[in-house]
Amino acid sequence: MASHTPKSDSIIINEAQLILAEKRTSLAAMRTGIAMLVLPLSVMSLLIATSRYYDFLHVLYFLVALGVVNLALIILGGYMIIRAIIRIHNYDRLIHEIKLKHSVIQ
């Protein structure tokens, strides 16, 4: 193996830190996606729990609009979760490749 200078070691460590920071950002996006999935469930649970206080046909326009918004949140939340998982796997692969190439990071 070729010897590393302190400057090149520093660059490698900085690259790994950057990848880990991007991974933390993807984890935050995943948490946001999970929250987007939970919100429609909470709203629908509240509507079911209070259903005896309103007539379904009188608030049908409201329920349809709410259903559309909930569907959009579910789709967006699912997209964010899947995208975050793919990115996290890519960042893990990059970190593994850096570990294999450079002995500085163990």
What integer pLDDT is reported at residue 3 of this predicted model?
A: 55
First to last CA, the chain: 15
What integer pLDDT is reported at residue 104 of this predicted model?
A: 78
What integer pLDDT is reported at residue 4 of this predicted model?
A: 59
- Cβ atoms of 87 and 11 within 8 Å: the answer is no
Mean pLDDT by 10 residues, the chain (106 residues): 67 93 97 94 88 86 91 96 98 94 81
| Nearest Cα to Cα of residue 82 among 35, 33, 16 | 33
Q: Which amino acid is at 104?
A: V
Whose tokens are 């302190």? That residue is 6
Q: What are phi and psi of 56, to 5 degrees?
A: -55, -45
What integer pLDDT is reported at residue 7 of this predicted model?
A: 64
